[in-house]
Structure 1
Amino acid sequence: MGKEIIYITASGWSTPSLTSSECNQVTWDGPDDPQNPKNWSTRRKWATSLIISSFAFLSPLCSSITAPALSSIGEDLHIRVGAELQLVLSIFLLAYAIGPFVLSPCSEVWGRVPVIRFGNMVFILFTALCGAATSQTQITAFRFLAGLGGSASVGMGSGVLTDCWRPEERGRGIAVYQLTQVLGPAVGPIAGGYISQYASWRWCFFIIVFANITVQIIAFFFLQETYAPRLLQDKARELRERTGNPMLRTEWEQSDEDRSFAQLLLKALCRPWVMLGTQPIVQVLAVYQAFNFGTLYLLISGFPALWEDRYGMPRGDASLNYLSLAIGSLVGVNICGPATDAVYAALKRRRGISDDQPGVPEFRMPLVVPVSIISPAAIFLYGWAAQAKLHWIVPNIGAAIFAGSAIICYQCISAYLADSYSLHSASASSACAFLRSILAFAFPLFVPALFGNLGYGVGGSVIGAVAIVVGMPAPWIIWFYGARMRGASQFSGRTVTPGRKLGCVSQKV
């Protein structure tokens, strides 16, 4: 007797018109498959977004909470004032540059949730040890290791949101996530200022530990896997056990079936470096995003000297000036979220793209054009107002405008990368996070030389001039040449296409 191939689909038996590899490919059970994160309910998507955003808030909060307490830390641990003391603040951000290059690619092998949970356990452990540190070596090492763990949610958060939100609804979800990453550094010094004024600086770390444990417990029950290849691999494994057909594979398992696990992991770990080295889109946007992030941390680290020394404010009152960064960020996210989705929808209509079809990633760029002009103007305002020692509200206005424009830029770039690189959005984000964190690490080290030697006016003018050179060309380059660069990319445009084929089995008849 011969063999006849019988095809099994979601709806029953199908005609034997598919190739063997096609019928053995496991994908979603139709476009409305409830297991596909993009088909989750809005409530479930927002639950995932808020949990990830909470992690992404607490980690940057820890990065800046020590800023107003540095003098107390230096006195207790005998750390000299200057670059050594600033290193206690900045070393956390150096870890941010390294961590995503390991953790984000691992999420594309094992899935998002296990890596996020592991990273946060490392963050909790070493943040607690920071609070118990007794020497400069200990607190510097523990801060670095805490930053490695904390980089997990920051590096792959946008990937999680890309997994669940569709392009036309992605703006608001990413806006909230990106807000937390900017709001955390802005709120941290306020909390740190009052904690260090009325209690020991060690409680800056212990409070973060208690908050993170709370979120970790919530995430244990409500945070579910979102990475499509990981979910489909689990589905394929279940089908192989149920049908006895060892040939059932996902698209990614079939394409990588000749590779060992070590080779797959090595490929994933190399991907962010390859993207940073070969993708002009990532390079252009990473430099712009990194400059904004570095400038934000420059302001954060320079605030204590400005408000306590130049304006003569008590430490607690001086920390309230960080509210300008928080308020600016809130205004920015409330503008960017709705405006990004509205502009995206309007450009789709203008191009004649139907509602059920996604637009092009370049539709995320229009808001960056005015931001690239407003941002350097805000830096000039901040610097010269501080130099003239105008009323404290004036430099705060400059700082607030910069923070708002920075988060709009940040959100638009993150949405653009998510739309452009789809399944490899975590690797693209980690590539950007590398440059972003390097500048956030380096810029605060220049504060004494920049503002101390040049003054706030000239120092601010230097930063503003660089913002013009770096920022203004970026959105136009992407708008005019982004599609061409994406078309030449090996990482762009690969998505999970909903289908009906679940597999096939061979039977003797």
Structure 2
Amino acid sequence: MSSGPSTNEFTKKEVPDSSELARKPSGEHERQERTLADETIQIVDWDGPDDPNNPKNWSSKRKWAATSIASLFTLLSPTTSSIISPATSHVVEEFGITNTTLAGMITSIFVLGFAVGPLLFGPLSEIYGRSRVVQWATMWFLIWNLVCGFAQTTTQLIIFRFFAGLGGSASITIGAAVIGDTFNPDQRGRATAIYALGPMVGPALGPVVGAWIATRTTWRWVFWSTSIFNVLIQIAGLVYLQETYAPVLLERKAKRLAKAMSSLDPEKASKRPIPRFQTPYESEDRSWQKILGKALTRPFILFAREPIIQLLGAYMSLMYGVFYLFITTMPGIFQNVYHESTGIGGLNFIALGSGMCFASFVNSRTMDKIYRYYKDRNGGVGEPEFRVPTMVPASIAFPLGILMSGWGAQHHVHWIVVDVGIFLVGTGIILAFQCIQTYIIDVFTLYAASGVASVFFLRALFGFCFPLFADEMYNSLGYGKGNTILSAAAIALGCPAPWILWFYV
């Protein structure tokens, strides 16, 4: 962003004496000052590289507190996205649904909100701050998720689910940006590995919980229980989720300085004009229309102009589509092929979650070590491409898991074979997602939310669409051939991706 006219258009002016700034907050005494025409402008920046107010310089405890709250927010909405999946048969029975595509939409429509929401909330967080946008969006999610439990028709349920997904998408987009705001690149891998676990374990955890809720009570409590959980997280967020976005923090600092200057003694204030305080991130035109217009178009511009975003977005989208295809079809596999009850069949989602937890545990311990190793070999200069090695095992485990689960179910072999395949799918997904997300944060640090939003838009569209054709595909081809096609697509797109990023980007 432009920081105003070039420095040669400004002349230095005397900084007000200490008595005039006595009422200013501590640590805000050193400022650059410049003049354009008759207006005095002071540039408000951090007080040196070690300024404790800079989120990059926060204590480790404070950084992890922000990351933990962001992770809880990102666990909530993905859990809600899939928690209805094992209870879909109950909804179908109550509402008399006969169309399989419509039945699949009950689960996947929530993910369509994930496609639209990031394009709005990501840029808004770059204007109004991470914390404020997350809190309001999560409140929107709470309202619509709650009313889902009161839906009386299929149309109502689908509409309510979409609006809930719209609000729930904010935490997924902004949570990654919080990590980019607070952690330096050589510390970012572990933080991302832990944070990214929530958005992926949530959809695997949801059906386990949803299956038993639907068995013991009614499908409506699937939504009411998550709403109760949401209230608890919302309260924790109000207390512990601090603002982390540097431009917003500096803007607040500038407002404090302006207020302090305006409260000076009138006689002293009349001797020199009161300056206008401006951050390095501000342009001359600070009208909200221009700022919002630029921020809302940024994700589309990034996607259109950046081959990195296009490549990673395509690969992540395929994986996310397969992920939600598995979530919607697994209950049918274990109930129809292995004749398990709704509750017992839901336990197989533990295999998916276990694969993700295992991969996240390994990745949290190795990603930053790999980054530092290549950084040292590169003369101490870090590069986003040093995240790429993590994608190599992911590009192998993911298609292998798809094949095992598909052909295992096709030939009715022991259910453990299918669960091992599902475990590998979870492992591959989380390894790739953590790598891709950290890579994007490293490349687009200041506008990480917009970079993530541009990738998440396509990803969520695939997550919405894949469950809609899953039943038709498997009815026509069977689980074995259907999953072979998905595995071939994963190999064709995923295996070359790490090498392209490493050698050609």
Aligned partners of 2:73 and 2:233 also within 8 Å: yes
State the Cα distance separating 1:5 from its structure 2 match: 2.2
TM-score calculated relative to the size of structure 2:
0.90
**Shift in Å at residue 166 of structure 1?**
1.2
- CA shift in 2, pair 1:7/1:345, >3 Å: same
Assess if the C-alpha contact under 8 Å between 1:169 and 1:341 holds in 2: yes
Alignment pair present for 1:26 and 2:44? yes
Task: Specify whether residues 400 and 264 from structure 1 end up closer, same or farther in structure 2 by C-alpha distance, changes over 3 A only.
Answer: same
Please name the residue that 2:265 is paired with.
Answer: none
Letter in 2 for 1:106: L
Change (3 A) 1:34 1:142: same
After TM superposition, give the deviation of residue 32 of structure 1 in Å.
1.2
Give 2:416's aligned residue. 393
Match of 1:494 in 2: none
Q: What amino acid is aligned across from residue 250 of structure 1 in structure 2? A: T
- What is the alpha-carbon distance in structure 2 between the residues aligned to residue 138 and residue 380 of structure 1? 37
* Pairing partner for 1:411 from 410, 434, 442: 434
Q: CA deviation at 1:177?
A: 1.2
Matched, 1:376 2:399: yes
- Asked if the contact 1:6–1:13 (Cα under 8 Å) also holds between the matched residues in 2, the reply is no
The aligned counterpart of 1:329 is 356
The one-letter amino acid paired with 1:373 is I
**Residue 402 of structure 1 pairs with residue 402 of structure 2:** no
Do structure 1's residue 277 and structure 2's residue 304 form an aligned pair? yes
Matches within 5 A, 1:79-158: 79-158=97-176
What corresponds to 1:168 in structure 2? Answer: 186
Work out the CA distance in 2 between the residues paired with 1:124 and 1:377.
38
The answer for unaligned runs of 5 or more in structure 1 is: 483-509
Report the Cα distance in structure 2 between the residues aligned to 1:4 and 1:107, rounded to whole angstroms.
34
Query: Which of residues 362, 372, 375 in structure 1 aligns to 2:385?
Result: 362
SS of the residue corresponding to residue 109 of structure 1 reads: helix
In 1: Cα distance, 2:41 partner to 2:166 partner: 43
| Contact 1:7 1:23 survives alignment (8 Å) | no
Match of 1:441 among 453, 458, 464: 464
Matched, 1:338 2:365: yes
Alignment partner for residue 66 of structure 1, among 72, 84, 88? 84
Q: Which amino acid aligns with 1:452?
A: N
State the alpha-carbon separation in 1 of the partners of residues 457 and 396 from structure 2.
25
The match for 2:489 is 466
Amino acid at match of 1:103: F
The 8 Å contact of residues 65 and 190 in structure 1, kept in 2 or not, is answered as yes
Instruction: Give, in whole Å, the separation in 1 of the partners of 2:332 and 2:158.
Output: 22
User: 1:424-482 CA distances to partner (integer Å, 9 max, x unpaired)?
Assistant: 00001011110110000011111112212101110110000000111011111111233
Per the TM alignment, residue 81 of structure 1 is displaced from its structure 2 partner at its CA by: 4.1
Report if the CA contact (8 A) 1:67-1:301 is conserved. yes
Distance 1:315 1:240, change over 3 A: same
Q: Does 368-377 or 398-407 show the bigger shift?
A: 368-377
Distance 2:326 2:12 in 1: 71
Q: Is the 8 A contact 1:197 1:316 kept in 2?
A: yes
Question: 3-state DSSP class of the match of 1:248?
Answer: strand
SS in 2 for 1:389: coil
| Correspondent of 1:246 among 262, 269, 275 | 275
Deviations 1:274-322, CA, capped at 9 Å, x for gaps = 1111111111111111111111111111101100001111111100000
Unmatched segments (≥5 aa) in structure 2: 1-10, 19-26, 263-273
User: Greater relative contact order: 1 or 2 (C-alpha under 8 angstroms, separation 6 or more)?
Assistant: 1
Q: Give the letter for the 1:160 counterpart.
A: V
Shift of 1:246: 2.9
Structure-2 change in CA distance of 1:425 and 1:231 (3 Å)? same
Structure 1 residues 114 and 4 mapped into 2: Cα distance closer, same or farther (>3 Å)? closer
| Kept after mapping to 2: 8 A contact 1:74/1:81 | no
Looking at structure 1, the residues matched to 401 and 157 of structure 2 have their Cα atoms a distance apart, in angstroms, of: 35
Cα distance between partner residues in 2 of 1:106 and 1:323: 36
2:41–2:276: 8 Å Cα contact kept in structure 1? no
Task: Report if aligned partners of 1:93, 1:437 keep a CA contact under 8 Å in 2.
Answer: yes
Distance in 1 (CA, whole Å) between partners of 2:12 and 2:109 is: 64
Q: Determine whether 1:219 maps to 2:231.
A: no
Cα deviation, 1:30-66, whole Å, max 9, x if unaligned, reads 1111111111111111111111111111100000001
Q: In the TM superposition, what is the alpha-carbon distance from 1:4 to its structure 2 partner? A: 8.1
Distance 1:133 1:435 in 2: 29
Q: 2:54 aligns with which of 8, 14, 36?
A: 36
In structure 2, the residue matched to 1:5 is 13
Tell me, in whole angstroms, the C-alpha distance in 1 between the residues paired with 2:255 and 2:500: 44
**Distance between the aligned counterparts of 2:227 and 2:448, measured in 1?**
29
Kept after mapping to 2: 8 A contact 1:79/1:85: yes
How many Å apart are 1:248 and its aligned residue? 2.2
Residue 293 (structure 1) aligned to one of 303, 320, 334: 320
1:184 counterpart residue number: 202
Rounded Cα–Cα distance in structure 1 between residues aligned with 2:30 and 2:196: 46
The Cα of 1:199 is off from its aligned counterpart by 0.6
| Aligned partners of 2:30 and 2:47 also within 8 Å | no
Root-mean-square deviation (CA), in Å?
A: 1.9
* Alpha-carbon distance between aligned partners in 1 of 2:63 and 2:12, rounded to the nearest angstrom: 43
Q: Which secondary structure does the structure 2 equivalent of 1:252 belong to?
A: coil
- Equivalents in 1 of 2:503, 2:254: separation in Å? 41
Give the alignment partner of residue 49 of structure 1, picking from 52, 61, 67: 67
In structure 2, give the amino acid aligned to 1:6.
Answer: E
CA contact (8 A) 1:156 1:426 kept: yes
Amino acid aligned to 1:190: V
Which residue number corresponds to residue 263 of structure 1? Answer: 290
Q: Which residue matches 1:507?
A: none
Q: TM-score, normalised by structure 1?
A: 0.90
* 3-state SS of paired residue (1:208): helix
Number of aligned residue pairs: give it.
Answer: 472
Q: Distance in 2 between matches of 1:20 and 1:382?
A: 68
User: Which residue among 463, 472, 476 is the counterpart of 2:499?
Assistant: 476
